[in-house]
Amino acid sequence: MEKFIVDGPAKLIGHVMIAGAKNVALKALVASLLTDEDIIIKNVPHIRDVHLMLEVLGHLGKHAALTGSTVTITKNSSHTCTVPLEVGARLRTSSMVLGPLLSRYGKAIIPNPGGCRIGARPIDRHIDGLKAMGASISYTSDDGYFHAEAKELHGAEITFEKNTHTGTETILLAAILAKGTTTLHNAAEEVEVDNLIDLLQHMGAHIKRTGKREIVIEGVSSLHSAEFEIMPDRNEEVTFAVAAIASTGDITVHNSRRQYLGAFLEALTKAGGGYEAIDAESTRYFYKEALTAVDVTTEIYPGFMTDWQAPWALLMTQAKGESVVHETVFENRFTYVEELKKMGARITYFDPDIKNPEEFYNFNWNDRPVDTHQAIRITGPTNLHNAVLSINDLRAGATLLLATIIGSGKSYLYGIEQVDRGYEHIEKRLCALGAHIDRVTEDAIS
Ligand code: EPZ
Protein backbone atom coordinates (compact mmCIF):
# COMPACT_ATOMS: atom_id res chain seq x y z
CA MET A 1 0.00 0.00 0.00
CA GLU A 2 1.15 3.58 -0.62
CA LYS A 3 0.71 7.00 0.93
CA PHE A 4 1.12 10.58 -0.21
CA ILE A 5 3.47 12.98 1.57
CA VAL A 6 2.45 16.54 0.71
CA ASP A 7 4.25 19.79 1.42
CA GLY A 8 1.94 22.80 1.52
CA PRO A 9 0.92 25.44 0.85
CA ALA A 10 1.25 25.56 -2.96
CA LYS A 11 -0.44 27.76 -5.54
CA LEU A 12 -1.62 25.70 -8.53
CA ILE A 13 -1.04 27.33 -11.90
CA GLY A 14 -1.02 25.97 -15.45
CA HIS A 15 -2.97 23.74 -17.83
CA VAL A 16 -4.56 20.32 -17.35
CA MET A 17 -6.29 17.85 -19.68
CA ILE A 18 -9.47 16.32 -18.26
CA ALA A 19 -9.55 12.53 -18.67
CA GLY A 20 -12.49 10.43 -19.86
CA ALA A 21 -15.45 10.04 -17.51
CA LYS A 22 -15.12 7.16 -15.04
CA ASN A 23 -18.90 6.90 -14.75
CA VAL A 24 -19.27 6.36 -18.49
CA ALA A 25 -16.14 4.24 -19.11
CA LEU A 26 -17.21 1.53 -16.64
CA LYS A 27 -20.65 1.14 -18.24
CA ALA A 28 -19.24 1.29 -21.79
CA LEU A 29 -17.07 -1.70 -20.90
CA VAL A 30 -20.15 -3.53 -19.56
CA ALA A 31 -22.01 -2.72 -22.80
CA SER A 32 -19.37 -4.70 -24.77
CA LEU A 33 -20.93 -7.87 -23.28
CA LEU A 34 -24.03 -7.24 -25.41
CA THR A 35 -22.29 -8.41 -28.60
CA ASP A 36 -19.61 -10.87 -29.73
CA GLU A 37 -18.34 -8.31 -32.21
CA ASP A 38 -15.39 -5.99 -31.46
CA ILE A 39 -16.00 -2.79 -29.47
CA ILE A 40 -13.48 0.05 -29.41
CA ILE A 41 -13.83 2.64 -26.66
CA LYS A 42 -11.68 5.78 -26.78
CA ASN A 43 -10.78 8.33 -24.09
CA VAL A 44 -10.85 5.69 -21.34
CA PRO A 45 -9.13 6.95 -18.15
CA HIS A 46 -6.22 4.98 -16.67
CA ILE A 47 -7.86 4.46 -13.29
CA ARG A 48 -8.07 1.52 -10.92
CA ASP A 49 -11.80 0.93 -11.44
CA VAL A 50 -11.27 0.59 -15.21
CA HIS A 51 -8.51 -1.98 -14.68
CA LEU A 52 -10.82 -3.88 -12.32
CA MET A 53 -13.65 -3.82 -14.89
CA LEU A 54 -11.28 -5.16 -17.56
CA GLU A 55 -10.53 -8.01 -15.13
CA VAL A 56 -14.28 -8.66 -14.79
CA LEU A 57 -14.65 -8.81 -18.60
CA GLY A 58 -11.76 -11.29 -18.71
CA HIS A 59 -13.72 -13.60 -16.39
CA LEU A 60 -16.76 -13.29 -18.66
CA GLY A 61 -15.05 -14.39 -21.88
CA LYS A 62 -13.77 -11.10 -23.27
CA HIS A 63 -10.24 -9.98 -24.16
CA ALA A 64 -9.61 -6.29 -23.50
CA ALA A 65 -6.47 -4.53 -24.71
CA LEU A 66 -5.79 -1.02 -23.34
CA THR A 67 -3.45 0.95 -25.63
CA GLY A 68 -3.03 4.55 -24.56
CA SER A 69 -6.57 5.57 -23.67
CA THR A 70 -8.22 3.21 -26.18
CA VAL A 71 -9.69 -0.15 -25.15
CA THR A 72 -10.31 -2.80 -27.81
CA ILE A 73 -12.65 -5.53 -26.60
CA THR A 74 -12.89 -8.81 -28.49
CA LYS A 75 -14.48 -12.16 -27.79
CA ASN A 76 -11.82 -14.29 -26.15
CA SER A 77 -13.34 -17.60 -25.18
CA SER A 78 -16.67 -19.15 -24.37
CA HIS A 79 -18.60 -16.90 -22.04
CA THR A 80 -19.17 -17.53 -18.36
CA CYS A 81 -21.87 -15.91 -16.23
CA THR A 82 -20.15 -15.56 -12.87
CA VAL A 83 -18.29 -12.56 -11.49
CA PRO A 84 -15.78 -13.81 -8.87
CA LEU A 85 -16.50 -12.60 -5.32
CA GLU A 86 -13.11 -10.93 -4.82
CA VAL A 87 -13.18 -8.69 -7.87
CA GLY A 88 -16.92 -8.01 -7.56
CA ALA A 89 -16.50 -6.89 -3.97
CA ARG A 90 -13.87 -4.34 -5.06
CA LEU A 91 -15.91 -2.92 -7.93
CA ARG A 92 -19.55 -2.03 -7.27
CA THR A 93 -20.35 -1.43 -10.92
CA SER A 94 -19.55 -5.07 -11.72
CA SER A 95 -23.16 -5.77 -10.68
CA MET A 96 -24.22 -4.03 -13.90
CA VAL A 97 -23.30 -7.09 -15.96
CA LEU A 98 -26.65 -8.52 -14.78
CA GLY A 99 -28.56 -7.03 -17.73
CA PRO A 100 -26.29 -8.19 -20.59
CA LEU A 101 -25.75 -11.69 -19.10
CA LEU A 102 -29.47 -12.23 -18.46
CA SER A 103 -30.53 -10.96 -21.90
CA ARG A 104 -27.90 -13.01 -23.78
CA TYR A 105 -27.48 -16.15 -21.69
CA GLY A 106 -30.42 -16.14 -19.27
CA LYS A 107 -28.13 -16.45 -16.26
CA ALA A 108 -25.90 -14.29 -14.03
CA ILE A 109 -24.17 -14.85 -10.71
CA ILE A 110 -22.79 -11.66 -9.20
CA PRO A 111 -21.45 -10.73 -5.74
CA ASN A 112 -23.66 -8.46 -3.67
CA PRO A 113 -22.10 -5.03 -4.42
CA GLY A 114 -23.01 -4.16 -0.87
CA GLY A 115 -22.46 -0.88 0.80
CA CYS A 116 -19.40 1.25 0.63
CA ARG A 117 -18.21 4.20 2.67
CA ILE A 118 -20.81 6.61 1.36
CA GLY A 119 -23.79 4.49 2.29
CA ALA A 120 -25.61 1.19 2.00
CA ARG A 121 -25.91 1.63 -1.78
CA PRO A 122 -28.28 -1.33 -2.30
CA ILE A 123 -29.43 -2.28 -5.80
CA ASP A 124 -33.10 -2.98 -4.95
CA ARG A 125 -34.31 -0.60 -7.69
CA HIS A 126 -32.13 -2.44 -10.25
CA ILE A 127 -33.44 -5.84 -9.10
CA ASP A 128 -37.10 -4.75 -9.08
CA GLY A 129 -36.73 -3.52 -12.68
CA LEU A 130 -35.13 -6.75 -13.87
CA LYS A 131 -37.81 -8.82 -12.13
CA ALA A 132 -40.47 -6.80 -13.98
CA MET A 133 -38.72 -7.94 -17.19
CA GLY A 134 -39.02 -11.59 -16.23
CA ALA A 135 -35.84 -12.26 -14.27
CA SER A 136 -35.88 -14.27 -11.07
CA ILE A 137 -33.17 -13.04 -8.71
CA SER A 138 -32.36 -14.31 -5.26
CA TYR A 139 -29.64 -13.36 -2.82
CA THR A 140 -28.10 -16.13 -0.77
CA SER A 141 -26.22 -14.60 2.14
CA ASP A 142 -24.35 -17.88 2.72
CA ASP A 143 -22.31 -17.35 -0.44
CA GLY A 144 -22.67 -13.55 -0.82
CA TYR A 145 -23.92 -13.85 -4.40
CA PHE A 146 -27.04 -12.76 -6.27
CA HIS A 147 -28.27 -15.70 -8.40
CA ALA A 148 -30.25 -14.48 -11.41
CA GLU A 149 -32.05 -16.37 -14.17
CA ALA A 150 -34.42 -15.47 -17.00
CA LYS A 151 -35.92 -17.82 -19.64
CA GLU A 152 -36.37 -14.72 -21.78
CA LEU A 153 -36.23 -11.09 -20.72
CA HIS A 154 -39.33 -9.26 -22.01
CA GLY A 155 -40.16 -5.57 -22.27
CA ALA A 156 -41.96 -3.92 -19.34
CA GLU A 157 -43.35 -0.62 -18.09
CA ILE A 158 -41.01 0.33 -15.20
CA THR A 159 -41.27 3.29 -12.86
CA PHE A 160 -38.40 3.99 -10.44
CA GLU A 161 -39.77 5.17 -7.09
CA LYS A 162 -36.67 7.39 -6.76
CA ASN A 163 -33.83 8.43 -9.04
CA THR A 164 -31.13 5.89 -9.72
CA HIS A 165 -28.26 6.64 -12.08
CA THR A 166 -26.85 3.11 -12.47
CA GLY A 167 -30.31 1.60 -11.96
CA THR A 168 -31.46 3.39 -15.11
CA GLU A 169 -28.38 2.13 -16.92
CA THR A 170 -28.85 -1.46 -15.68
CA ILE A 171 -32.37 -1.56 -17.13
CA LEU A 172 -31.20 0.01 -20.41
CA LEU A 173 -28.51 -2.66 -20.73
CA ALA A 174 -31.11 -5.38 -20.05
CA ALA A 175 -33.86 -4.01 -22.31
CA ILE A 176 -31.85 -3.62 -25.50
CA LEU A 177 -31.95 -7.35 -26.38
CA ALA A 178 -35.19 -8.12 -24.49
CA LYS A 179 -38.31 -9.15 -26.40
CA GLY A 180 -40.59 -6.19 -26.95
CA THR A 181 -40.72 -2.63 -25.68
CA THR A 182 -39.56 -1.30 -22.31
CA THR A 183 -40.67 2.10 -21.07
CA LEU A 184 -38.75 3.60 -18.17
CA HIS A 185 -40.45 6.29 -16.06
CA ASN A 186 -38.61 8.53 -13.60
CA ALA A 187 -35.41 7.63 -15.46
CA ALA A 188 -32.15 9.36 -14.49
CA GLU A 189 -31.13 12.37 -16.61
CA GLU A 190 -27.44 12.57 -15.70
CA VAL A 191 -25.43 13.38 -18.83
CA GLU A 192 -23.35 10.24 -18.33
CA VAL A 193 -26.54 8.20 -18.97
CA ASP A 194 -27.00 10.05 -22.29
CA ASN A 195 -23.39 9.28 -23.24
CA LEU A 196 -24.01 5.56 -22.61
CA ILE A 197 -27.23 5.76 -24.68
CA ASP A 198 -25.16 7.32 -27.49
CA LEU A 199 -22.74 4.38 -27.42
CA LEU A 200 -25.60 1.84 -27.37
CA GLN A 201 -27.23 3.55 -30.35
CA HIS A 202 -23.87 3.30 -32.18
CA MET A 203 -24.04 -0.47 -31.47
CA GLY A 204 -27.52 -0.65 -33.06
CA ALA A 205 -29.77 -0.30 -30.01
CA HIS A 206 -33.19 1.36 -30.42
CA ILE A 207 -33.37 3.74 -27.44
CA LYS A 208 -34.81 7.21 -27.17
CA ARG A 209 -35.76 9.70 -24.52
CA THR A 210 -39.49 10.29 -25.19
CA GLY A 211 -40.23 12.88 -22.50
CA LYS A 212 -39.14 14.24 -19.14
CA ARG A 213 -37.43 11.41 -17.23
CA GLU A 214 -38.86 8.86 -19.73
CA ILE A 215 -36.93 6.45 -21.95
CA VAL A 216 -38.36 3.92 -24.45
CA ILE A 217 -36.28 0.94 -25.59
CA GLU A 218 -37.37 -1.31 -28.50
CA GLY A 219 -35.69 -4.71 -28.09
CA VAL A 220 -33.55 -5.85 -31.06
CA SER A 221 -32.19 -9.32 -31.83
CA SER A 222 -28.50 -8.40 -31.81
CA LEU A 223 -26.01 -5.55 -31.68
CA HIS A 224 -22.90 -4.95 -33.77
CA SER A 225 -19.37 -3.57 -33.45
CA ALA A 226 -18.81 0.10 -32.73
CA GLU A 227 -16.04 2.62 -32.14
CA PHE A 228 -16.88 5.32 -29.61
CA GLU A 229 -15.19 8.14 -27.68
CA ILE A 230 -16.56 8.75 -24.19
CA MET A 231 -17.12 12.21 -22.75
CA PRO A 232 -14.69 13.92 -20.36
CA ASP A 233 -15.16 13.56 -16.61
CA ARG A 234 -17.33 16.30 -15.03
CA ASN A 235 -16.14 15.39 -11.56
CA GLU A 236 -12.50 15.81 -12.56
CA GLU A 237 -13.21 19.24 -13.97
CA VAL A 238 -14.90 20.38 -10.76
CA THR A 239 -11.99 18.96 -8.74
CA PHE A 240 -9.41 20.96 -10.73
CA ALA A 241 -11.61 24.08 -10.67
CA VAL A 242 -11.71 23.94 -6.86
CA ALA A 243 -7.96 23.22 -6.82
CA ALA A 244 -7.30 26.42 -8.76
CA ILE A 245 -9.42 28.69 -6.60
CA ALA A 246 -8.77 27.13 -3.18
CA SER A 247 -5.00 27.43 -3.81
CA THR A 248 -5.43 31.07 -5.02
CA GLY A 249 -4.07 29.85 -8.36
CA ASP A 250 -5.11 29.78 -12.01
CA ILE A 251 -5.76 26.58 -14.01
CA THR A 252 -6.94 26.27 -17.59
CA VAL A 253 -8.85 23.03 -18.07
CA HIS A 254 -8.88 21.38 -21.53
CA ASN A 255 -11.59 18.89 -22.61
CA SER A 256 -13.87 21.08 -20.51
CA ARG A 257 -17.62 20.46 -20.60
CA ARG A 258 -18.76 23.53 -18.64
CA GLN A 259 -22.18 23.28 -20.31
CA TYR A 260 -22.85 20.37 -17.92
CA LEU A 261 -21.59 22.16 -14.81
CA GLY A 262 -24.29 24.84 -14.54
CA ALA A 263 -25.14 24.37 -10.87
CA PHE A 264 -21.46 24.36 -9.90
CA LEU A 265 -20.61 27.46 -11.97
CA GLU A 266 -23.59 29.32 -10.50
CA ALA A 267 -22.47 28.58 -6.92
CA LEU A 268 -18.84 29.36 -7.81
CA THR A 269 -19.75 32.77 -9.24
CA LYS A 270 -21.86 33.58 -6.17
CA ALA A 271 -18.90 32.68 -3.95
CA GLY A 272 -16.56 34.99 -5.90
CA GLY A 273 -14.58 32.31 -7.74
CA GLY A 274 -13.43 33.23 -11.24
CA TYR A 275 -13.95 31.31 -14.46
CA GLU A 276 -13.57 32.27 -18.11
CA ALA A 277 -14.62 30.41 -21.28
CA ILE A 278 -11.43 30.25 -23.40
CA ASP A 279 -13.07 28.26 -26.20
CA ALA A 280 -15.70 25.52 -26.65
CA GLU A 281 -13.54 22.96 -24.82
CA SER A 282 -11.29 25.03 -22.56
CA THR A 283 -12.21 26.86 -19.38
CA ARG A 284 -9.93 28.91 -17.14
CA TYR A 285 -10.62 28.73 -13.39
CA PHE A 286 -8.86 31.31 -11.23
CA TYR A 287 -8.77 33.02 -7.83
CA LYS A 288 -10.43 36.39 -8.36
CA GLU A 289 -11.23 37.81 -4.89
CA ALA A 290 -11.77 36.81 -1.28
CA LEU A 291 -14.42 34.08 -1.28
CA THR A 292 -17.77 34.44 0.45
CA ALA A 293 -19.78 31.59 1.96
CA VAL A 294 -22.47 30.04 -0.30
CA ASP A 295 -24.90 27.26 0.70
CA VAL A 296 -25.40 24.24 -1.59
CA THR A 297 -27.89 21.36 -1.54
CA THR A 298 -26.98 18.32 -3.62
CA GLU A 299 -29.59 17.17 -6.14
CA ILE A 300 -30.00 14.89 -9.14
CA TYR A 301 -29.19 16.31 -12.57
CA PRO A 302 -29.21 19.19 -13.42
CA GLY A 303 -28.78 20.17 -9.76
CA PHE A 304 -25.56 20.49 -7.75
CA MET A 305 -24.11 16.99 -8.00
CA THR A 306 -23.41 14.94 -4.89
CA ASP A 307 -19.91 14.13 -6.22
CA TRP A 308 -19.10 17.86 -6.02
CA GLN A 309 -20.06 18.49 -2.39
CA ALA A 310 -16.78 17.36 -0.79
CA PRO A 311 -14.53 19.64 -2.90
CA TRP A 312 -17.10 22.41 -2.41
CA ALA A 313 -16.92 22.01 1.37
CA LEU A 314 -13.14 22.42 1.17
CA LEU A 315 -13.60 25.61 -0.85
CA MET A 316 -16.02 26.92 1.78
CA THR A 317 -13.38 26.49 4.52
CA GLN A 318 -11.58 29.27 2.62
CA ALA A 319 -14.67 31.49 2.33
CA LYS A 320 -15.68 34.27 4.69
CA GLY A 321 -18.82 33.47 6.69
CA GLU A 322 -20.94 30.45 7.44
CA SER A 323 -22.04 28.04 4.66
CA VAL A 324 -24.22 24.93 4.64
CA VAL A 325 -23.73 21.78 2.58
CA HIS A 326 -26.91 19.66 2.55
CA GLU A 327 -26.40 16.14 1.11
CA THR A 328 -29.66 14.61 -0.17
CA VAL A 329 -28.48 11.75 -2.43
CA PHE A 330 -26.37 9.51 -0.14
CA GLU A 331 -26.83 8.88 3.56
CA ASN A 332 -23.22 8.97 4.65
CA ARG A 333 -21.16 11.24 2.45
CA PHE A 334 -19.33 13.38 5.01
CA THR A 335 -16.49 10.93 5.78
CA TYR A 336 -13.96 13.66 4.93
CA VAL A 337 -15.26 16.11 7.56
CA GLU A 338 -13.47 14.66 10.60
CA GLU A 339 -10.26 14.62 8.52
CA LEU A 340 -10.63 18.29 7.54
CA LYS A 341 -11.23 19.14 11.22
CA LYS A 342 -7.82 17.59 12.01
CA MET A 343 -6.41 20.37 9.77
CA GLY A 344 -8.26 23.06 11.72
CA ALA A 345 -11.44 23.31 9.67
CA ARG A 346 -14.45 24.59 11.66
CA ILE A 347 -17.34 22.29 10.71
CA THR A 348 -20.40 21.09 12.64
CA TYR A 349 -23.09 18.59 11.69
CA PHE A 350 -26.84 19.08 11.77
CA ASP A 351 -30.05 17.80 10.22
CA PRO A 352 -32.24 20.28 8.33
CA ASP A 353 -35.91 20.19 9.29
CA ILE A 354 -37.43 18.26 6.38
CA LYS A 355 -41.21 17.58 6.45
CA ASN A 356 -41.20 14.24 4.56
CA PRO A 357 -37.62 12.89 4.63
CA GLU A 358 -38.67 9.47 3.25
CA GLU A 359 -39.70 11.16 0.00
CA PHE A 360 -37.25 14.07 0.07
CA TYR A 361 -34.00 12.09 0.28
CA ASN A 362 -32.83 10.00 -2.68
CA PHE A 363 -31.54 7.15 -0.52
CA ASN A 364 -33.86 4.64 1.16
CA TRP A 365 -34.69 6.28 4.47
CA ASN A 366 -34.38 3.01 6.42
CA ASP A 367 -30.80 2.58 5.18
CA ARG A 368 -29.75 5.58 7.26
CA PRO A 369 -27.41 4.73 10.14
CA VAL A 370 -28.52 6.44 13.35
CA ASP A 371 -25.29 8.37 13.89
CA THR A 372 -25.08 10.21 10.56
CA HIS A 373 -26.28 13.65 9.59
CA GLN A 374 -27.35 15.09 6.27
CA ALA A 375 -25.84 18.55 6.54
CA ILE A 376 -22.74 20.38 7.72
CA ARG A 377 -22.15 24.02 8.66
CA ILE A 378 -18.74 25.42 7.71
CA THR A 379 -17.27 28.60 9.21
CA GLY A 380 -14.43 30.29 7.37
CA PRO A 381 -11.98 31.42 6.35
CA THR A 382 -9.54 29.07 8.09
CA ASN A 383 -5.86 28.60 7.37
CA LEU A 384 -5.58 24.83 7.27
CA HIS A 385 -2.50 23.16 8.77
CA ASN A 386 -0.84 19.83 8.14
CA ALA A 387 -2.11 16.51 9.53
CA VAL A 388 -2.05 12.74 9.09
CA LEU A 389 -5.22 11.86 7.20
CA SER A 390 -7.13 8.71 6.22
CA ILE A 391 -9.10 8.53 2.99
CA ASN A 392 -12.41 6.65 2.99
CA ASP A 393 -13.87 7.22 -0.44
CA LEU A 394 -13.00 8.54 -3.85
CA ARG A 395 -14.31 12.12 -3.81
CA ALA A 396 -13.39 12.57 -0.15
CA GLY A 397 -9.87 11.45 -1.09
CA ALA A 398 -9.48 14.01 -3.85
CA THR A 399 -10.76 16.68 -1.46
CA LEU A 400 -8.31 15.76 1.29
CA LEU A 401 -5.45 15.73 -1.21
CA LEU A 402 -6.37 19.29 -2.24
CA ALA A 403 -6.64 20.26 1.45
CA THR A 404 -3.06 19.13 2.12
CA ILE A 405 -1.88 21.13 -0.91
CA ILE A 406 -3.44 24.37 0.35
CA GLY A 407 -2.67 23.64 4.02
CA SER A 408 0.65 24.68 5.59
CA GLY A 409 3.24 22.06 6.52
CA LYS A 410 3.96 18.43 5.73
CA SER A 411 0.91 16.13 5.62
CA TYR A 412 0.56 12.37 5.27
CA LEU A 413 -2.37 10.80 3.39
CA TYR A 414 -3.25 7.12 3.83
CA GLY A 415 -5.74 5.13 1.73
CA ILE A 416 -4.71 6.81 -1.53
CA GLU A 417 -5.83 3.77 -3.56
CA GLN A 418 -9.28 5.33 -3.17
CA VAL A 419 -8.13 8.36 -5.17
CA ASP A 420 -6.51 6.11 -7.80
CA ARG A 421 -9.94 4.53 -8.34
CA GLY A 422 -11.17 7.65 -10.13
CA TYR A 423 -8.34 10.07 -10.91
CA GLU A 424 -5.73 9.32 -13.56
CA HIS A 425 -2.08 9.94 -12.46
CA ILE A 426 -3.43 12.46 -9.96
CA GLU A 427 -0.19 13.43 -8.23
CA LYS A 428 1.73 13.81 -11.52
CA ARG A 429 -0.90 16.20 -12.83
CA LEU A 430 -1.07 18.20 -9.60
CA CYS A 431 2.76 18.41 -9.33
CA ALA A 432 2.86 19.73 -12.91
CA LEU A 433 0.64 22.56 -11.61
CA GLY A 434 2.97 23.34 -8.71
CA ALA A 435 2.02 20.90 -5.93
CA HIS A 436 4.67 19.03 -3.89
CA ILE A 437 3.44 15.44 -3.55
CA ASP A 438 5.48 12.27 -3.06
CA ARG A 439 3.92 8.83 -3.49
CA VAL A 440 5.80 6.40 -1.20
CA THR A 441 5.15 3.02 0.37
CA GLU A 442 3.09 3.29 3.53
CA ASP A 443 5.92 2.20 5.83
CA ALA A 444 8.44 4.67 4.34
CA ILE A 445 9.71 7.09 6.98
CA SER A 446 10.39 10.63 5.90
C1 EPZ B 1 -23.84 6.87 -9.57
O2 EPZ B 1 -23.96 6.09 -8.40
C3 EPZ B 1 -22.38 7.28 -9.67
N4 EPZ B 1 -21.55 6.08 -9.78
C5 EPZ B 1 -22.00 8.05 -8.39
O6 EPZ B 1 -20.63 8.45 -8.51
C7 EPZ B 1 -22.88 9.28 -8.32
O8 EPZ B 1 -22.59 9.97 -7.13
C9 EPZ B 1 -24.35 8.87 -8.32
O10 EPZ B 1 -24.64 8.05 -9.46
C11 EPZ B 1 -25.28 10.07 -8.38
O12 EPZ B 1 -25.11 10.72 -9.62
C13 EPZ B 1 -21.43 5.48 -10.99
O14 EPZ B 1 -22.02 5.87 -11.98
C15 EPZ B 1 -20.51 4.29 -11.04
P16 EPZ B 1 -27.88 6.16 -7.59
P17 EPZ B 1 -25.29 5.20 -8.20
O18 EPZ B 1 -28.30 4.79 -8.03
O19 EPZ B 1 -25.85 4.84 -9.50
C20 EPZ B 1 -29.82 4.80 -3.46
C21 EPZ B 1 -18.38 8.57 -7.82
O22 EPZ B 1 -17.78 9.10 -6.89
N23 EPZ B 1 -30.25 3.60 -4.22
O24 EPZ B 1 -28.36 7.33 -8.37
O25 EPZ B 1 -24.96 4.13 -7.23
C26 EPZ B 1 -28.31 4.93 -3.41
O27 EPZ B 1 -27.77 4.22 -2.31
C28 EPZ B 1 -19.70 7.87 -7.58
O29 EPZ B 1 -17.99 8.55 -9.02
C30 EPZ B 1 -31.02 2.64 -3.56
O31 EPZ B 1 -31.32 2.77 -2.38
O32 EPZ B 1 -26.27 6.25 -7.52
C33 EPZ B 1 -28.12 6.42 -3.27
O34 EPZ B 1 -28.26 6.77 -1.91
C35 EPZ B 1 -20.14 7.98 -6.13
N36 EPZ B 1 -31.38 1.53 -4.25
C37 EPZ B 1 -29.26 7.00 -4.08
O38 EPZ B 1 -30.26 5.97 -4.16
C39 EPZ B 1 -31.04 1.35 -5.56
O40 EPZ B 1 -31.41 0.31 -6.15
C41 EPZ B 1 -28.85 7.39 -5.50
O42 EPZ B 1 -28.23 6.26 -6.06
C43 EPZ B 1 -30.27 2.35 -6.21
C44 EPZ B 1 -29.90 3.47 -5.52
**DSSP string covering 292-312, please?**
B---EEB-STTSB-GGGHHHH
Q: pLDDT band at 144, cuts 50/70/90?
A: confident
The predicted structure's pLDDT at residue 46: 96
Q: pLDDT band at 75, cuts 50/70/90?
A: very high
* Domain CATH number, residue 401: 3.65.10.10
Q: Report d(CA 1, CA 345) in Å as an integer.
A: 28
Q: Is residue 306 within 6 Å of ligand 1 at its C-beta?
A: yes
Average pLDDT across the chain, whole number: 96
Boundary of a domain, candidates 163, 195, 229: 229
Q: Are residues 376 and 407 in the same domain?
A: yes
Among the ranges given (118-122, 232-236, 277-281), the one the predictor scored with the smallest mean pLDDT: 118-122
The count of structural domains within the chain is: 2
Boundary of a domain, candidates 229, 258, 276: 229
Instruction: List the residue whose alpha carbon is closest to atom 29 of ligand 1.
Output: 23
Nearest atom in ligand 1 to 123's CA? 40
Q: Are residues 190 and 64 in the same domain?
A: yes
Q: Are residues 45 and 114 in the same domain?
A: yes
Nearest atom in ligand 1 to 367's CA? 31
Q: pLDDT band at 115, cuts 50/70/90?
A: low
Q: Is residue 394 within 6 Å of ligand 1 at its C-beta?
A: yes
Q: Are residues 36 and 142 in the same domain?
A: yes
Q: Is residue 307 within 6 Å of ligand 1 at its C-beta?
A: yes
Q: Report d(CA 422, CA 397) in Å as an integer.
A: 10
Q: Report d(CA 9, CA 400) in Å as an integer.
A: 13
pLDDT tens per residue, range 269-284: 999 999 999 999 999 9
The predicted structure's pLDDT at residue 195: 98
- Continuous segment of H or E residues that includes residue 368: none
- Owning domain of residue 130: 22-229
Give 166 Cα–ligand 1 centroid separation in angstroms.
6
pLDDT tens per residue, range 354-395: 999 999 999 999 989 888 999 999 999 999 999 999 999 999
pLDDT tens per residue, range 20-48: 999 999 999 999 999 999 999 999 999 99
Find, among 273, 272, 285, the residue nearest to 240 by Cα: 285
Kindly report the number of other CB atoms within 10 A of residue 165's CB atom. 20
User: Which amino acid belongs to residue 353?
Assistant: D
Q: Are residues 197 and 298 in the same domain?
A: no
Q: Are residues 217 and 241 in the same domain?
A: no
Residues 126-131: what's their mean pLDDT?
96
Residue 151 has pLDDT above 70, yes or no: yes
Which amino acids are annotated catalytic? 116
Residue 340 has pLDDT above 70, yes or no: yes
Q: Report d(CA 177, CA 9) in Å as an integer.
A: 54
Range from 71-80, 120-129, 207-216 that averages highest in pLDDT: 207-216
Residues 283-297: what's their mean pLDDT?
98
